[in-house]
Amino acid sequence: MKTLVLGAVGAALLAAPGSAQIVRHSSGGNAVILEGVSVPAGADTLMLSGQLASPIDSSKRPDSVESFGDTKTQTISALNKIKGILASRGYAMSDIIKMTVFVAADPKRQDGKMDFAGMNEGYRQFFGTPENPNLVARSTIQVAGLAGPYYLVEIEVTAAKMAAR
């Protein structure tokens, strides 16, 4: 009996690499982020440095937060930049598994807090959509400031996909 069990376990282990997949662990309910992600050995991964928003009008020198937009606008801009970088390396937004979002306080808010709702509105345009139903494991952190005085959002991501065979 031991030989049969060990044989079955060994066969399962040998079969696993060919059937290994990235597993997204949902937190359930209406959550917009994942509880976690399991990435098997052999997956190709790409880690992007933090990306900031681009100016709304690239012909003008940025001189205010309005030059880059509010938190939602900057989130969308940074995610579009990430989308382009990923595409240039053979990845898609659906390959993102982990995201860290740094958000500075919105100067229009009197309470000195980040615009978490605005960031989520921008995020929801890219994740959990018909085009990309995938969600990501994500952390969102309010910071005192970012690389420049007009930036409200910086996003870094990790993408993973199974290697082509």
- For the chain, the domains span 2-162
Q: How confident is the model at residue 17, as a pLDDT?
A: 47
Q: Poorest-confidence range of 1-5, 15-19, 149-153?
A: 1-5
Taking residues 48-75, report their average pLDDT.
94
Burial per residue of 22-37, b for 16 or more beta-carbon CB atoms within 10 angstroms, e otherwise: beeeeeeeeeebbeeb
Amino acid at 96: I
| DSSP helix/strand/coil, 3 | helix
3-state DSSP assignment of residue 52: strand
- Percent of the chain with pLDDT strictly greater than 70: 88
- Calculate mean pLDDT across residues 108-132: 96
Residue predicted with more confidence, 102 or 16: 102
Q: Any residues with CB less than 8 A from the CB of 14 and at least 6 apart, and which?
A: none
In this structure, what DSSP letter does residue 97 have? Answer: E
Residues paired with 137 in a beta bridge: 34, 98
pTM over 0.95: no
Higher pLDDT residue, 31 or 52?
Answer: 52
Higher pLDDT, 101 or 29: 101
Mean pLDDT in the chain?
89
Tell the CATH topology of 2-162: 60s Ribosomal Protein L30; Chain: A; (3.30.1330)
Closest residue by Cα to residue 132 from 77, 86, 69, 89? 86
Backbone angles phi, psi at 45, to 5 degrees: -125, 150
Contact indicator for 119, 75 with CB cutoff of 8 Å: yes
Judged by DSSP in three states, 101 sits in: strand
For residues 89 and 86, give the distance between their C-alpha atoms in angstroms, rounded to a whole number: 5
Looking at the predicted structure, is the pLDDT value of residue 4 above 80? Answer: no
Residue 101 CA to residue 106 CA, distance in Å, equals: 15
Q: What pLDDT was estimated at residue 19?
A: 61
d(CA 88, CA 97): 18
Cα separations (Å) of 144 from 107, 112, 125, 126?
Answer: 12, 10, 26, 26
Q: Which of the four pLDDT bands, split at 50, 70 and 90, describes residue 28?
A: confident
Average pLDDT over residues 27-32: 87
Question: What mean pLDDT is predicted for residues 34-40?
Answer: 96
pLDDT band of residue 44 (cuts 50, 70, 90) is very high
Mean pLDDT of the region 58-81: 94
